[in-house]
Structure 1
Amino acid sequence: MWRLLKNLSRDFAIRAVTPVTCRSVELAETNRLFAGGAAHPEGPDVRREARRACSVGANVRDAACYVCWAFARAYEPPELKPFVTEIASALLITTVFDRNVNCRRAASAAFQENVGRQGTFPHGIDILTAADYFAVGNLNNCYLTISIYIASFPEYTRPLIDHLVTRKVNHWHGAIRELATQALHNLTPKAPDYMAKTVLPQLLPMATGLDMHGRHGAILACAEITHALSKLTAETNRPVTDVLSPASVEGLKVIHQKLFDRQQYRGFGGELMRPAVCALIEKLSLSQMPFKDDPVISGWQWLIDDSLKSLHLFSSAARQNIKEAAVLALAALCQQYYQAGPGVAEPHMQELLVSQYIAALKSPEVLTRCGCSLALGSLPRFMLQNKLQQVLDGLQSACTVFKKEVSFTEARKDATRAIAQVCTTVGVSAQGSVDAVLCADNVSQVYCALLDCLSDYTTDSRGDVGAWVREAAMSSLMEVTLLVVSSDPELLSPDLHQPAVPHIPHREELLSIFPTEDADFLNWNAPSQAFPHITRLLGLQQYQYHTLLGLTVSVGGLTETTVLFSAQSLFDHLRGIQQDRPTLEQFGATLLRIFRDHLRNDRVSIPLLKMVDQMLANGCFDIFTGEDDHPFCVELLALCKEEIKKSKDVQKLRSSVTVFCGLIQFQGEVRKKVLFQLLLLLCHPFPVIRKATASQMYEMLLTYDDVIDPAVMDDVMTLLSDANWEEDLSIVRAHRNQLCDWLGVQRPAILSKSPAQ
């Protein structure tokens, strides 16, 4: 608390500085307050000291910017000239690198004021155009774009680099450290010699130092700078070692071993060190460092494998970073160091890696399966030669839903993605070998695996987690299909797709429904935009079944906006075909087929019951109600009865009651069968179902007053409304039997253990 008060007092003191008392000493001291000068003699550098989720020095830096803004008005240009370069550099450093947006904007405003009033700030007008008040609002833009432009002016190149190295690479906030290292990568072409001879040797001791944050940032910075230098030397066909000293090369090589010896890959520190060193492995591999056959390669491989197999030991926030970094490192490492010759893998490494990753696809740890699936997907082509069929078999098994592994959803998602990655890597050749390329003998296996993933509707406490697999399958199908079509379209036979690709049925109609020019503007996340297009597919026979299946889950779903717009679009379509009897009958047949195919599949059957209820209430099948015992009504009633047979799902039972009440509008013997089902439910073991049935029947008889004899209407309505349907079953059964007599329906026989009595 005392330190915060001291900072606030410093804030007020800086703002109270008057132009008359400011001289050279005060100018230099104020400049150091935000430019990263020496620490305050009283203790730690409070300008950047972390306090939970913030740094308490932001108010001081903001005040220092205010003082610099005042300098522009208080001093004549000749008096300020000796300090122009230092002040300009400090202001620009704060403008692009400060974590606090208010400080960045304050520094930008102060720089603008000095440029306008002093006229001596180097390249002021050009810089202001790129670093104005609004441009500096985006931190990524500041670090990765604006800073690079400013560094193109020699006066500011080294100050920007030095600030990143001394203040931001070891920053307490992880996002700032990562941005700083990416900025150093982009700044390397501006001063390659300085980076190679000064900055990199300065960072290497930090990369194995005691400060965890400094170690993390320095490792990433070493990786980025080395990679940037390698790209520069590649332009002149030179190795990167031409610009790196032997000491720097050795320092980069020993980073992993030093961390391993100190056991710094464990615990919380390991969550930072593992992805950082994996990034180092990736960048050094891409930089073609001369480490082939060096023992360090086996150490790197151990780190990658151990990280992929130990993801469950780390926090959920770190897992994704570790997994992604390890997979990228593996791909680069294999490409650079595991080739015996051009395009030929070292046999022992190929056998070792592919076999161990395939075996890990059966691990009891779901995250291990995830990592190893993506590892297989990242392998270069020469590593998959002669092993492709094994890899595809393993991935297909990993993305299949087994009863005892139904919860391994993340693993199935990553295995699905890996299948597409592997296919893209090996390419297509119709007459090729199944162990080398995607060909006529294995293309059906790939499509069957991906199409099966579209049926993954696994749910758990997180909701519809199967959606992750379905989304991955759709993306993978698109990638594989585009790959095959661009190489050998004849591999796609009609039995792989319904409809067949590339010969798509109703192609012109589809293009009119989904115009190419609207592809970039249609917001699929907005139900109001998506469903009017989707429901038009109901008019195309080949797509009607699956479109209606999807609409069933939407119309009978839980999300209000989805239900509203999907139902509205569906009913608009049905109103358009009301007078077209053959088309309406075809629609009804498709609806019944969906019901039959998904009988007792609660994911579909419960929403379907809700959707059918809405259809009946909106008169969508009025054209059938004039006929006695129309086949649509008869089969729908039979399917509803079968769906709720021995069911104890209250939601399903209540939905079936509303459907039965809607079916009462149909003529013939089917009406008595509907009444019989409702009267059975009046004596259901669940009191809530009995009460709901009585209430729904009351509303039904008010709506359809021709259902029963008017002479008994009042008695029936009175009994339905006044009786306590939650009483003991012996009392409720007497009420029910009385209703049977009035309605002319046979009394249900009492059967032992029957849930409907």
Structure 2
Amino acid sequence: MSRVSRIATLLYLYTKFRGYKTIVRFFPHEVPDVTVALDYMRMPGGPTQDAEQWALRYIVLLWLSLVCMIPFDLAQFNDEGNDVAAQIEAVAEDHIGKAGLERETASIVLSRLYIRKDMSTRFPKFLINTRSGVESSGETFKCIGRLKVISEILKSGSAELAQDNLGSIWDIVRAVEAREALMNNTIVRKFRVKVLSRTSLRILPSTYQAGRRKGRALLRGPDEEQADAVDEDIDVPEDVETVIEELMQALQDKDTVVRWSAAKSVARIAERLPIDLGNQIFDTVLDLFSIHSMAAANLYDLPAVAESTWHGACLASAEIARRGLVADDKLSQLVTWLSQALSFDVRKGSHSVGSNVRDAATYVLWSLARAQSVSALAPLAEGLAKKLVTVSLFDREVHVRRAASAAFQEYVGRTSLFPDGIDVLRKTDFYAVGVRRNAFLKAAPEVAEHLTYRDALVDHLLSVSLRHWDPNVRQLGAQSLEAICELDLEALGQSTANRASKLLQSIDIDDIHGALLALAELASACNILSDKTKCDAKKREMFAYLNLVPLSTVQSSRNSLVTSAACYLVSTAITQNEIHGSPVKHWRDIIDVGLRHRDNAVQEQSANALASVSRLVDCSELLQRYMQEFSTGTPTLQQSLGYLLGSLDYTAYGHNLSAAIQCLLNAVNPTSPGRFGNVEARRNAYSSISRLFQTIAPKISRYLSAATTQELFSALQNGLSDYTVDQRGDVGSWIRIACIKGLAEVSTILMSNGDDLPLMDYFPPEVYHEAIGGILKQGVERLDNVRQTSGEHFLGLLSLPSPSVENAEQWRIDGEELFKRLYLADGEGKGWKESSWFFPKAVKMLQVARYRKHVLAGLVFSVGSKTDSTQRPVSQSLVKYVETLPTVSRSDGEYSVRSLLEGLLDQVKGNLGSNTVVIPVLQTITVLLEADALTRLQNEPEGLQSLRSLLSIASRNSARLKNVQRIQETMKVIANLLVIAPLYSEGLAMLPQFFTHRFPKIRSDTAEYLYMILQSKDIEVETDVAEEILLESEWTSGNMADVESASARFIEALSRD
């Protein structure tokens, strides 16, 4: 890209974020610039002729639009018969039909050219050409460009120029309307609206101030009051009435840009008309609200197409209000419609439409606050305050909440009419309502402290939020309702529950779901009552409402949300009375349906419901039945059982705890016939082990023996080795994450209760350190989410105080100071998932001997990762770390390059048959060999012996290997060992088995990799002949005799004999 092209692109970016009108003022505009810009655009074969140089054409045309306005007659620039004006016009005409941005600036050039008094005679011809072009071809892009020219001239040109050509302009508009293809284009319709409105504005008086209120006058004298009554009697042309009708139709257009343009046009025309006519226009705008409302019983019954109409009506009302054109006697009617518009949310399929209507309605209210008198707004102030507060707190969309908050702020600042305005504004400002959860659960209860707004908030939650199409809004609405009712539970609790229960009789599942959630949250709120008898009585009332929900509704497979909410109500509202005799006969069936449901959320809620029951009655028989049925049932039932066993309260009643523990152990034991085959079920079982400890934590020794505790802890440790993979990927990571959390939580519980149990028996130090090693191993592996989970819980254990037992230091993490220095000292706050930040620190954990084996194993898995964002930083970090190590250990405990290599070989020695272990180790060794990080081992006898062991292990049974990747990694290790002089001959002798392998890919990969080695490494042998053999031989040939011959010649070429 040339320098001028880069400058043009930069200038275009300036115009993009600052606007061309601002940027063009800094362009040069001297007289000679006219011919410079024109000649540059017309230069044959010049840069502007290149199709890719659109930014250059855009900027030069923009420059031309500026310089063509110079205050001199363009005729004086004519030279040798060249008409400069005609040339400028021709250049712009060439680009006005383009699809790119050149069309925009070409339109500006033509409009500014025709605005000149000496060029106005060219404008009629332009209009004639435009009309003929529309009627003949109807090219969309050219039509857009020409309509933009006309709209700009009507806006900025002289009145005479516009009025002299009104007939031609009307003809063009009608011609456009006659072309269906053009009217289907949004931009064409937008410019049509602009042309229509600006034509009307040229017909009407330029200003009309009688009775107008521009802004709000703080002090008005008697003369001004009298002036308001003055009205001029003017005749409105019939064409203007026609335009107004067209604009009213445009307000209902399907595209926002057209409606927005029409709204501004309606307001501008109304501003030019007498008061009575302006009021008629405003009445017509208000009538738009009722077009679709006549046939609708309520706001929710409106058709989806009503969105466009209501949005256009709101935009037009806002523009009219902003100009102070709303009469005081119309204010009440407008606010009534706006109150409905603020709740406009019409369901359409799986979502809804209407957020733009609500946003526009807040814009209208904001405009009213700036333009209407305080006395006119005073009767409506309290209702507006309540409506704006509810929308700013409870609307689903963040832009609507913030817009409502801004409108509320405008009223507080300009009118001081809103009750407790300053205090409420502080609780509902831009940032407070920015996060939906914060708006519902924090800001709403704070606002509800003001009695003026409390009933309005509760009404909105019951009538809108609990019935919303989005289940997340219903859930937040129920939680917000609980928080508000807690402010005065005696007064609000029962009445709110009664109103919510009426929704249970609805045929809409969303209503039933919202009502059940609200009742469940209200039942939970009863726990704040100090009188237990009164608390239980209120809970029984809530529980009784379950009778209004038929069991068939709960059992429907499509009503998972209702089933979950019903179980939630059981869990929060059940009391001792319901256990022995409840008017709700089917509550046990609800729990049973939930436990058998396929949805995880429903299973969890039903398990929580049974957990609430377990605090009131012994569930041993019920639990035994579920264990017998579910443990050998479908994967769905196993998932449910896995979660259920950890949810029960084993401290209130025994619930056959020993059988539950044995079921959990069998579920996760790889050798047990009762092992859950489903990954999600095993994950739930592992999570249940942790939750079981949390339940019995205060009295662990009372419920668990030391042997059982260690068995459960060992099960969690074994879960770290689950690397199950299916079509969804590494689903075993779900289990590993659950086990990491479980190990950290159980360790914390056991050490926190160390003074109440023999910790040495229940939790030996070596078991704890083995768990730490397992967590660190997961912390340096390839998956970001697993690393992050490991890091969070490891740092939690690092900060854990020592247990209150003798020799407590045995439970301190080895290398504690190193870990704190690595991860807690810098205060950067970055997580372990940030590979580039984490791995340079992670490799230093190899200095801690106790966890070295685990950390090295994890790093090996990361080096073998196929994810470049993990593999690259860990490889680079490991190489840099190895370069800092001594070659061999000179003292006990010193870590060296040889120690690292021996550690890698130890991983392989016992797992030669496992490709999942051997391949990552070989890949790690290859990374180190390619970086020459192991080369210096040949200088030490011990190091050389380790390299010999490496060559022996890598080549063992290599001829019988079938896994292509393992064969490739073996070949790479042997090829890299050629640079080790004492091993050169042995390594060279092993290469023919790869050159002559039965897999053609292995042969070609070997030749390619060896060529790279010979090019980049110094093996102290002349390699030119060998390289030529590698390049010229057909290694993938089916003629094995030729391949074997090439292999023999290659070996001979590199032989030192």
- Superposition TM-score tier, normalisation by shorter sequence: 0.7 to 0.9
Asked if the contact 2:524/2:572 (under 8 Å) is kept, the reply is yes
Equivalent of residue 360 in structure 1, options 623, 630, 644: 630
Measure the CA separation in 2 of the matches of 1:697 and 1:439: 61
Matched, 1:569 2:877: yes
Measure the CA separation in 2 of the matches of 1:588 and 1:226: 63
Asked if the contact 1:34/1:94 (under 8 Å) is kept, the reply is no
Measure the CA separation in 1 of the matches of 2:927 and 2:768: 33
Measure the CA separation in 2 of the matches of 1:23 and 1:513: 71
Equivalent of residue 153 in structure 1, options 434, 439, 450: 450
Matched, 1:399 2:686: no
Query: How many residues end up aligned between the 2 structures?
Result: 702
Q: CA deviation at 1:12?
A: 3.6
Q: Residues 149 and 427 (structure 1 numbering): CA distance in 2 closer, same or farther, change over 3 Å?
A: closer
Higher relative contact order (CA 8 A, sep 6+): 1
Q: CA deviation at 1:180?
A: 1.0
Q: CA deviation at 1:568?
A: 2.6
Measure the CA separation in 2 of the matches of 1:535 and 1:506: 21
Structure 1 window deviating more from structure 2 (692-701 vs 139-148): it is 692-701
The equivalent of 2:1041 in structure 1 is: 730
The equivalent of 2:931 in structure 1 is: 618
Q: Which amino acid aligns with 2:836?
A: S
For residues 617-636 of structure 1, the C-alpha deviation after alignment (integer angstroms, 9 at most, x for no partner) is: 22222232246893212221
Measure the CA separation in 1 of the matches of 2:680 and 2:380: 58
Q: Which amino acid aligns with 1:656?
A: T
The equivalent of 1:175 in structure 2 is: 472
Q: Residues 86 and 72 (structure 1 numbering): CA distance in 2 closer, same or farther, change over 3 Å?
A: same
Equivalent of residue 550 in structure 2, options 243, 249, 259: 259
Measure the CA separation in 2 of the matches of 1:135 and 1:13: 30
Q: CA deviation at 1:13?
A: 3.9
Q: Residues 739 and 673 (structure 1 numbering): CA distance in 2 closer, same or farther, change over 3 Å?
A: same
Q: Which amino acid aligns with 1:718?
A: E
The equivalent of 1:41 in structure 2 is: none
Q: Residues 736 and 16 (structure 1 numbering): CA distance in 2 closer, same or farther, change over 3 Å?
A: closer
Equivalent of residue 294 in structure 1, options 569, 576, 581: 581
The equivalent of 2:187 in structure 1 is: none
Asked if the contact 1:599/1:643 (under 8 Å) is kept, the reply is no
Asked if the contact 1:14/1:63 (under 8 Å) is kept, the reply is no
Q: Residues 644 and 407 (structure 1 numbering): CA distance in 2 closer, same or farther, change over 3 Å?
A: farther
Q: Give runs of aligned pairs for residues 552-563 of structure 1, distance below 5 A.
A: 552-563=860-871
The equivalent of 1:333 in structure 2 is: 613
Measure the CA separation in 1 of the matches of 2:603 and 2:742: 20
Measure the CA separation in 2 of the matches of 1:192 and 1:24: 42
Identity %: 25
Q: CA deviation at 1:266?
A: 1.0
The equivalent of 2:748 in structure 1 is: 482
Measure the CA separation in 1 of the matches of 2:379 and 2:812: 76
Equivalent of residue 632 in structure 1, options 924, 939, 946: 946
What secondary structure sits across from 1:381 in the alignment? coil
Q: CA deviation at 1:126?
A: 0.7
Measure the CA separation in 1 of the matches of 2:517 and 2:561: 10
Q: CA deviation at 1:584?
A: 2.8
The equivalent of 1:112 in structure 2 is: 409
The equivalent of 2:640 in structure 1 is: 371
Asked if the contact 2:667/2:676 (under 8 Å) is kept, the reply is no
Q: Give runs of aligned pairs for residues 13-28 of structure 1, distance below 5 A.
A: 13-18=316-321, 19-23=324-328, 26-28=331-333
Q: Give runs of aligned pairs for residues 467-546 of structure 1, distance below 5 A.
A: 467-488=733-754, 489-491=759-761, 492-494=763-765, 496-498=767-769, 503-504=809-810, 507=813, 509-515=815-821, 517-518=824-825, 521-546=829-854
Measure the CA separation in 1 of the matches of 2:734 and 2:1043: 48
Q: Residues 137 and 595 (structure 1 numbering): CA distance in 2 closer, same or farther, change over 3 Å?
A: same
Asked if the contact 2:363/2:403 (under 8 Å) is kept, the reply is yes
Q: CA deviation at 1:36?
A: 7.8
Q: Residues 738 and 76 (structure 1 numbering): CA distance in 2 closer, same or farther, change over 3 Å?
A: closer
TM-score, reference length from structure 1: 0.86
Q: CA deviation at 1:610?
A: 1.4
TM-score, reference length from structure 2: 0.62
Asked if the contact 2:651/2:695 (under 8 Å) is kept, the reply is no
Q: Residues 443 and 657 (structure 1 numbering): CA distance in 2 closer, same or farther, change over 3 Å?
A: same
Asked if the contact 1:384/1:426 (under 8 Å) is kept, the reply is no
Q: Which amino acid aligns with 2:591?
A: I
Measure the CA separation in 2 of the matches of 1:663 and 1:150: 74
For residues 273-325 of structure 1, the C-alpha deviation after alignment (integer angstroms, 9 at most, x for no partner) is: 1111011111213xx473231256773333223322231xxxxxxx2321222
Asked if the contact 1:157/1:190 (under 8 Å) is kept, the reply is no
For residues 30-52 of structure 1, the C-alpha deviation after alignment (integer angstroms, 9 at most, x for no partner) is: 24533589xxxxxxx9x221124
For residues 175-197 of structure 1, the C-alpha deviation after alignment (integer angstroms, 9 at most, x for no partner) is: 11111111110111234344344
Q: Which amino acid aligns with 2:838?
A: A
Q: Residues 326 and 386 (structure 1 numbering): CA distance in 2 closer, same or farther, change over 3 Å?
A: closer
Asked if the contact 1:181/1:224 (under 8 Å) is kept, the reply is yes
Q: CA deviation at 1:744?
A: 5.3
Measure the CA separation in 1 of the matches of 2:554 and 2:910: 56
Structure 1 window deviating more from structure 2 (465-474 vs 379-388): it is 379-388
**Structure 1 vs Structure 2 CA RMSD:** 3.0
The equivalent of 1:34 in structure 2 is: 339
Q: Residues 438 and 2 (structure 1 numbering): CA distance in 2 closer, same or farther, change over 3 Å?
A: closer
What secondary structure sits across from 1:442 in the alignment? helix
Asked if the contact 1:427/1:438 (under 8 Å) is kept, the reply is no
Structure 1 window deviating more from structure 2 (351-360 vs 717-726): it is 351-360
Q: CA deviation at 1:264?
A: 4.4
Asked if the contact 1:664/1:671 (under 8 Å) is kept, the reply is yes
The equivalent of 2:711 in structure 1 is: 445
The equivalent of 1:315 in structure 2 is: none
Q: Residues 511 and 390 (structure 1 numbering): CA distance in 2 closer, same or farther, change over 3 Å?
A: farther
Structure 1 window deviating more from structure 2 (187-196 vs 270-279): it is 187-196
The equivalent of 1:698 in structure 2 is: 1011
**Unaligned 5+ residue runs, structure 1?**
38-44, 312-318, 339-344, 747-757
Matched, 1:323 2:603: yes
Equivalent of residue 995 in structure 2, options 682, 687, 696: 682
The equivalent of 1:42 in structure 2 is: none
For residues 627-656 of structure 1, the C-alpha deviation after alignment (integer angstroms, 9 at most, x for no partner) is: 689321222122222374533332222222
Q: Residues 28 and 133 (structure 1 numbering): CA distance in 2 closer, same or farther, change over 3 Å?
A: farther
Q: Residues 126 and 310 (structure 1 numbering): CA distance in 2 closer, same or farther, change over 3 Å?
A: closer
Give the number of the structure whose alpha-carbon radius of gyration is greater: 2
Asked if the contact 1:11/1:60 (under 8 Å) is kept, the reply is yes
Q: Residues 5 and 700 (structure 1 numbering): CA distance in 2 closer, same or farther, change over 3 Å?
A: closer
Q: CA deviation at 1:144?
A: 1.1
Q: CA deviation at 1:454?
A: 1.4
What secondary structure sits across from 1:726 in the alignment? coil
Q: Which amino acid aligns with 1:665?
A: V
Q: Residues 52 and 310 (structure 1 numbering): CA distance in 2 closer, same or farther, change over 3 Å?
A: closer
Asked if the contact 2:392/2:428 (under 8 Å) is kept, the reply is yes
Measure the CA separation in 2 of the matches of 1:500 and 1:138: 39
Q: Which amino acid aligns with 1:30?
A: V
Q: CA deviation at 1:681?
A: 0.6
Structure 1 window deviating more from structure 2 (105-114 vs 71-80): it is 71-80
Q: CA deviation at 1:123?
A: 0.4
Asked if the contact 2:608/2:647 (under 8 Å) is kept, the reply is yes
Q: CA deviation at 1:579?
A: 4.3
Q: Residues 533 and 715 (structure 1 numbering): CA distance in 2 closer, same or farther, change over 3 Å?
A: closer
Q: Residues 479 and 438 (structure 1 numbering): CA distance in 2 closer, same or farther, change over 3 Å?
A: farther
Q: CA deviation at 1:554?
A: 1.2
Q: Residues 298 and 574 (structure 1 numbering): CA distance in 2 closer, same or farther, change over 3 Å?
A: farther
Measure the CA separation in 1 of the matches of 2:656 and 2:577: 28
Asked if the contact 2:863/2:924 (under 8 Å) is kept, the reply is yes
Asked if the contact 1:31/1:86 (under 8 Å) is kept, the reply is no
Q: Which amino acid aligns with 1:356?
A: Y
Measure the CA separation in 2 of the matches of 1:133 and 1:386: 52
Asked if the contact 1:664/1:707 (under 8 Å) is kept, the reply is no
